[in-house]
């Protein structure tokens, strides 16, 4: 274990034993003839006593030497011990959130019982919702993105610097050919378009990088947008000089948080390279100045840059807060099997915090009025390559409305599956000033909920199940009111 964790565990045990003996820190100081400040430093995990001092403490507290120095904690402190021994505090870069590890250790040392209760609760919730280590990492990453409004100027500048160094024109679409040339000539890559398809177990993968041979294995059926993004991301890994990285796209598993973070940085780099900030801001500015929404012009933007809808919508989450001051928005990605009636929310981002449409508990049914699901129904029926729609979604329970853009395409990683990508912008005075087409009568407006189980729209024809959770809440409220009346009557 890390030395500071050994100190902390000894301090936690000493404090627990002292309090069990009903001794104050001053009392133990008198009993053991050790200074109060010295004992305080030990209990806070700042110091580890020498052998002779441990012997004195074990004698005065009537506990064996071996028990005192053992790293084993009793059941009351065991969860804290598990956290410390797992080294998870080392794996998560706390400095990203402005937290020093030493400060976190101080909190644990000062209130171990409360921290223990909190950790135990988190563990129980995680088990209940099947919240694994990777989910924890991804949640941490989302929090980091939200705290920065998903905009990272240092990465934007590095893309500009890269393009200048390699003479890539940011005003024109970047081709896979010129990026492949950089990978081969500058970074010594070998591109292999044949071997990946020989392994049927790897059907869902678009690429695998073999570091020892610097060989990039690519799926034979990827389109130009996918190939360009993969190349751009590989360049990102190399140009940003990341050693901790993922070797498959899409990812299979994460070994540590650095891989999660660097995967995000490399993806951000790729998005900024394929959809340059200045060019995209210019094109989007033209679109929102029109009095009516121009669907063709909207789709032409990412078609021009040869970017997939997901890359385009993700890029908007970077630039809308920064360049348009549209800071309250959400991003959703749904998947849907061909012919199925089930929809799965596989990715989401909310700026600056959670918006009305969001993931829910297992087995709840998302509102079928959402445009995110509607485009999936449309593409399933039409079998076309791309389905797009725009909607104003009104949430009466929260008294908010969103302008939502949504695209559905075949899932590039799954056979017989579609995915929809959506970005929703909170409609407020600021958005109304910026987007001239918001009053366009052709834009469909829908009153929506979050899930059928919690929805108060009683005349909804699209409803899949009854609002059983909402009904339960209302029933409990009535019971609460009756109990309150009875209590007041007989008090």
Render pLDDT for 124-139 as a digit per residue (tens, 0 to 9): 655 555 556 677 788 8
- Is the N-terminal amide bond of 123 cis, ω within 30° of 0? no
376, two tokens: 């999936």
What would the mean pLDDT of 119-128 be, rounded to a whole number? 60
pLDDT band at 83 (very low <50, low <70, confident <90, very high): low
Amino acid 195: pLDDT: 87
Give percent helix, percent strand, percent coil of the chain, each to the nearest 5: 55, 15, 35
Query: What single DSSP character describes residue 173?
Result: P
Strand runs labelled E in 361-475 = 386-395, 400-410, 417-426, 444-447
Task: Tell whether the model's pLDDT for residue 1 goes beyond 60.
Answer: no
Strand-pair category, 344-351 with 444-447: unpaired
Kindly state the percentage of the chain with pLDDT values over 90.
Answer: 52
Amino acid 131: pLDDT: 57
What would the mean pLDDT of 466-482 be, rounded to a whole number? 85
Residues 151-194: tens digit of each pLDDT? 999 999 999 999 999 999 988 889 999 999 999 999 999 999 98
Task: Tell whether the model's pLDDT for residue 305 goes beyond 70.
Answer: yes
pLDDT band at 322 (very low <50, low <70, confident <90, very high): very high
pLDDT band at 357 (very low <50, low <70, confident <90, very high): confident
CA–CA distances in Å: residue 311 to residues 28, 226, 322: 62, 10, 17
CA distance 209 to 207: 7
CA distance 85 to 432: 52
Burial 180-212 (b: 16+ CB within 10 A, else e): bebbeeeeebebeeeebeeeeebeebbbbbeee
CA distance 476 to 120: 28
What would the mean pLDDT of 398-408 be, rounded to a whole number? 95
Cα 233 to chain centroid distance, Å, stands at 19
Amino acid 248: pLDDT: 92
Task: Tell whether the model's pLDDT for residue 88 goes beyond 70.
Answer: no
Amino acid 118: pLDDT: 62
Amino acid 129: pLDDT: 54
Residues 405-425: tens digit of each pLDDT? 999 998 877 788 999 999 999
| Mean pLDDT taken over the chain | 87
Amino acid 102: pLDDT: 61
CA distance 358 to 464: 18
Residues 226-284: tens digit of each pLDDT? 999 999 999 999 999 999 999 999 888 888 888 999 999 999 999 999 999 999 999 99
Amino acid 89: pLDDT: 61
pLDDT band at 110 (very low <50, low <70, confident <90, very high): low
| DSSP-derived secondary structure for 176-217 | HHHHHHHHHHHH--EEESSSGGG-GGGTT-SEEEETTTTEEE
What would the mean pLDDT of 299-311 be, rounded to a whole number? 89
What would the mean pLDDT of 305-320 be, rounded to a whole number? 93
More confidently predicted of 82 and 205: 205
Residues 196-220: tens digit of each pLDDT? 888 888 878 899 999 999 999 999 8
More confidently predicted of 300 and 92: 300
Strand-pair category, 417-426 with 329-337: antiparallel
CA distance 93 to 104: 12
pLDDT band at 431 (very low <50, low <70, confident <90, very high): very high
466, two tokens: 């009854």
Its pTM stands at 0.78
CA distance 256 to 242: 13
């Amino acid at each position: 274990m890390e030395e500071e964790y050994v100190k902390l565990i000894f301090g936690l045990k000493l404090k627990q034993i002292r309090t069990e003996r009903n001794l104050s820190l001053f009392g133990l100081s008198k009993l053991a003839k050790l200074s109060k400040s010295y004992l305080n430093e030990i209990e806070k995990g700042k110091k580890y006593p020498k052998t002779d001092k441990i012997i004195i403490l074990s004698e005065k507290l009537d506990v064996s030497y071996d028990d005192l120095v053992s790293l084993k904690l009793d059941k009351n402190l065991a969860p804290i011990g598990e956290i410390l021994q797992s080294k998870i505090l080392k794996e998560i870069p706390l400095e990203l959130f402005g937290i020093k590890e030493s400060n976190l250790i101080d909190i644990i040392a000062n209130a171990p019982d409360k921290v223990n209760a909190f950790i135990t609760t988190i563990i129980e919730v995680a088990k209940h919702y099947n919240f694994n280590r990777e989910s924890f990492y991804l949640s941490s990453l989302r929090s980091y993105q939200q705290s920065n409004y998903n905009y990272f100027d240092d990465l934007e500048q590095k893309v500009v610097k890269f393009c200048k160094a390699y003479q890539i024109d940011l005003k024109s679409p970047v081709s896979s050919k010129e990026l492949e040339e950089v990978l081969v000539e500058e970074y010594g890559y070998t591109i292999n378009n044949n071997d990946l398809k020989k392994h049927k177990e790897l059907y869902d993968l678009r690429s695998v990088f073999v570091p020892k041979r610097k060989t990039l294995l690519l799926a034979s059926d990827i389109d130009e947008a996918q190939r360009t993004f993969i190349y751009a991301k590989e360049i990102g890994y190399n140009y940003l000089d990341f050693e901790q990285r993922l070797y498959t796209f899409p990812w299979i598993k994460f070994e540590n948080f650095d891989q999660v973070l660097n995967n995000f940085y490399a993806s951000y780099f790729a998005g900024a390279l394929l959809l340059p900030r200045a060019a995209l801001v210019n094109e989007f500015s033209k679109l929102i100045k029109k009095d009516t929404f121009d669907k063709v012009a909207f789709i032409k933007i990412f078609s021009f840059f040869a970017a997939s809808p997901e890359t385009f919508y993700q890029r908007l989450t970077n630039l809308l807060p920064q360049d348009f001051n549209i800071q309250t928005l959400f991003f959703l990605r749904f998947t849907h099997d061909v012919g199925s009636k089930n929809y799965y929310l596989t990715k989401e981002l909310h700026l600056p915090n959670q918006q009305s449409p969001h993931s829910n508990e297992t087995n709840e049914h998302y509102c079928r009025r959402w445009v995110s699901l509607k485009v999936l129904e449309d593409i399933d029926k039409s079998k076309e390559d791309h389905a797009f729609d725009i909607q104003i979604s009104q949430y009466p329970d929260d008294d908010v409305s969103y302008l939502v853009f949504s695209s559905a395409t075949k899932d590039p990683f799954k056979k017989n599956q579609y995915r929809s990508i959506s970005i929703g912008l909170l409609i407020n005075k600021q958005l109304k000033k910026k987007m001239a087409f918001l009053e366009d009568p052709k834009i469909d407006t829908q009153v929506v909920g979050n899930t059928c189980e919690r929805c108060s729209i009683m005349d909804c024809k699209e409803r899949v199940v009854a609002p059983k959770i909402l009904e339960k809440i209302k029933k409990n409220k009535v019971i609460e009111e009756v109990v309150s009346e009875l209590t007041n009557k007989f008090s």
